[in-house]
């Protein structure tokens, strides 16, 4: 059986699936339930010192949209958008001291970890919250930088999140890493221009890892009422976002070699495998637990193990970053790739009942003929669009010069 244990920030996790900072980690009962269901670590919902953000959580609104971006009724589809608004932990931060201590102890007894997550309203607030959380015994600390700047940095922020700006990220990260001795992970926003630049700044300021990343802000309207579904702009995410998240996971892994917790777009164990292969060492999951229940966790963990066993991966290190390292990213290398062209199996082709490839080829290769598709092979660039859209699998790609055109 595959060994799921993984080292992350110097800590030993029993598997790579952690629960992200959100509602599934907002109380003792929920955190214990995550641990009971196999989570290797739980990132506590953000503890903050700004009363308005605590109040906001009591006005949370959730809307689940289908692939037409209309609200679902009942069953959650494989392709969904979670459009939702919440805030930080509702209670004043001091009230979380006993809660953190209790859950840290529970995690210790169950081979799991509690990871703090804080956001300060001032520079001193960041430091105080970080120290408070460390003193409760958490294994490591995530700093939630998807937040407006403290007043001391407001002129630099120009209304953007801290994590949109490398300099502000470095400033907050440095203050926190100098104040605590546990590993610090900087949580990124997808709204930054370059997450790699922000991650580099966090790394330079002492962060042991980055979480890539939180969610985009979006907007969705009910066209019957002419109003947004949940009052206004709010977080959006779902399985469709995964390739956008992985783009940054791959880049940060490849350029900085930094440890990454992947988050944003994970539905099941196979998604977690994709994150691992793209360069994340652990994953943080949220939306799918809110839509399927915390009981979804064992299935995810089991799926990771089943995949590894069936594909001969003995441990997490044998998966880690393999696709990031296989990625071709430079033009000269791309141009060296072997050239291919399309060929049609006339036995299975349905022409003229089907003529999809003649409509889907934009290089004037596939042409409507009298009784069959005529192929003008000298124009073929090997883009594969016809192969992907042929309903009968009659098109394959073959080395240049060998098409049976
Ligand atoms: C309802 C909700 C509340 C969230 N609250 C927090 C939070 O308090 N702190 C934080 O750092 N991230 C928060 N997040 C972001 C998640 O931790 C996570 O990074 C994000 O949802 C992407 O993961 P997913 O695709 O598995 O949902 C929240 C997300 C949702 C959907
Ligand atoms: S898309 Fe496939 S089935 Fe349709 S005409 Fe082209 S080769 Fe034939
Ligand atoms: S591979 Fe691309 S260019 Fe070649 S025939 Fe198919 S669609 Fe046209």
Which residues, in sequence order, are bridge partners of residue 56?
Answer: none
Do 147 and 106 form a contact (C-beta atoms < 8 A)? no
Pocket test for ligand 2, best of 349, 358, 375 (most atoms within 8 A of CB): 349
Alpha carbon distance 66, 64 (integer Å): 7
Q: What is the atom index within ligand 3 of the atom nearest the CA of 357? A: 7
Q: Is the CB of 56 under 6 A from ligand 2?
A: no
The residue contributing the CA closest to ligand 3 atom 3 is 380
pTM score of the predicted model: 0.95
The residue contributing the CA closest to ligand 2 atom 2 is 390
Tell me the percentage of the chain whose pLDDT exceeds 90.
91
Give tens-digit pLDDT for 107-133.
Answer: 999 999 999 999 999 999 999 999 999
- 393 alpha carbon, closest ligand: 2
Query: pLDDT at position 56, please?
Result: 85
Query: Ligand 2 centroid vs 401 CA: distance in angstroms?
Result: 21
Give tens-digit pLDDT for 150-190.
Answer: 888 877 767 789 999 999 999 999 999 999 999 999 999 99
Give tens-digit pLDDT for 234-257.
Answer: 999 999 999 999 999 999 999 999
Q: Is the CB of 272 under 6 A from ligand 3?
A: no
Q: Which domains does the chain have, with CATH numbers?
A: 6-326 (3.20.20.70), 338-399 (3.30.70.20)
Q: Is the CB of 245 under 6 A from ligand 1?
A: no
Q: Is the CB of 283 under 6 A from ligand 1?
A: no
Residue with tokens 């209309």: 70
Q: Is the CB of 390 under 6 A from ligand 3?
A: no
Q: Is the CB of 361 under 6 A from ligand 3?
A: yes
Give tens-digit pLDDT for 291-314.
Answer: 999 999 999 999 999 999 999 999
Q: Is the CB of 383 under 6 A from ligand 3?
A: yes
Residue 99 has pLDDT above 80, yes or no: yes
Give tens-digit pLDDT for 40-61.
Answer: 999 999 999 988 888 888 889 9
Which residues, in sequence order, are bridge partners of residue 6?
Answer: 13
3-class DSSP string for the chain: CCECCEEECCEEECCCEEECCCHHHCCHHHHHHHHHCCCCEEECCCEECCHHHHHHHCCCEEEEECCCCCECCCCCCCCCEEEEECCCCCCCHHHHHHHHHHHHHHHHHCCCEEEEEEECCCHHHHHHHHHHHHHCCCCEEEEECCCECCHHHHHHHCCCEHHHCHHHHHHHHHHHHHHCCCCEEEECCCCCCCHHHHHHHHHHCCCCEEEECCCEEECCEECCCCEECCCCCEEEECHHHHHHHHHHHHHHHHHHCCEEEEECCCCCHHHHHHHHHHCCCEEEECHHHHHHCCCHHHHHHHHHHHHHHHHCCCEHHHCCCHHHHHCCCCHHHHHCCCCEEEEECCCCCCCCCCCHHHHHCCCCCEEECCCCEEECHHHCCCCCHHHHHCCCCCEEEEECCCCCC
Q: Is the CB of 266 under 6 A from ligand 1?
A: yes
Q: What is the atom index within ligand 2 of the atom nearest the CA of 352? A: 5
Q: What is the atom index within ligand 1 of the atom nearest the CA of 82? A: 31
């Amino acid at each position: 059986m595959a060994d799921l244990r993984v080292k992350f920030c110097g800590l030993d996790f029993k598997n790579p699936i952690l629960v992200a900072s959100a509602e599934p980690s907002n109380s003792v009962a929920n955190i214990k339930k995550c641990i009971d269901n196999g989570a290797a670590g739980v990132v506590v919902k953000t503890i903050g010192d700004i009363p308005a953000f605590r109040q906001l959580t009591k006005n949370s609104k959730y809307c689940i949209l289908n692939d037409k971006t209309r609200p679902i009724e009942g069953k959650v589809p494989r392709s969904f958008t979670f459009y939702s608004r919440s805030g930080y932990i509702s209670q004043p931060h001091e009230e979380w001291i006993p809660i953190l201590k209790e859950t840290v102890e529970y995690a210790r007894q169950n081979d799991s970890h509690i990871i703090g997550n804080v956001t300060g309203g001032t520079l001193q607030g960041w430091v105080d919250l970080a120290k408070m959380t460390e003193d409760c015994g958490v294994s490591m600390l995530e700093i939630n930088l998807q937040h407006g700047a403290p007043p001391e940095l407001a002129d630099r922020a120009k209304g953007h999140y801290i994590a949109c700006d490398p300099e502000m990220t470095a400033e907050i990260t440095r203050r926190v890493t100098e104040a605590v001795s546990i590993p610090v992970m900087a949580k990124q926003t997808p709204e930054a221009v370059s997450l790699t630049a922000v991650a580099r700044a966090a790394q330079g300021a002492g962060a042991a890892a980055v979480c890539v990343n939180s969610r985009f802000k979006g907007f969705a309207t009910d066209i019957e009422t002419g109003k947004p579904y949940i009052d206004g702009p709010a977080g959006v995410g779902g399985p469709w976002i995964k390739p956008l998240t992985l783009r940054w996971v791959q880049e940060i892994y490849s350029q900085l070699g930094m440890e990454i917790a992947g988050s944003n777009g994970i539905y099941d164990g196979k998604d977690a495998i994709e994150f691992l292969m793209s360069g994340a060492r652990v994953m943080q999951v949220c939306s799918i637990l809110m839509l399927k229940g915390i009981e979804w966790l064992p299935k995810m963990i089991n799926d990771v193990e089943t995949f590894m066993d069936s594909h001969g991966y003995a441990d997490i290190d044998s998966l880690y970053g393999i696709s990031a390292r296989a990625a071709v990213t430079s033009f000269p290398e791309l141009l060296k790739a072997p050239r291919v062209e399309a060929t049609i199996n006339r036995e299975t082709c349905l022409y003229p009942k089907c003529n999809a490839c003649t409509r889907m080829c934009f290089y004037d290769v596939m042409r409507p003929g009298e009784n069959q598709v005529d192929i003008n092979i000298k124009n073929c660039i090997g883009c594969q669009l016809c192969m992907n859209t042929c309903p009968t699998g009659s098109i394959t790609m073959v080395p240049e010069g060998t098409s049976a055109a």
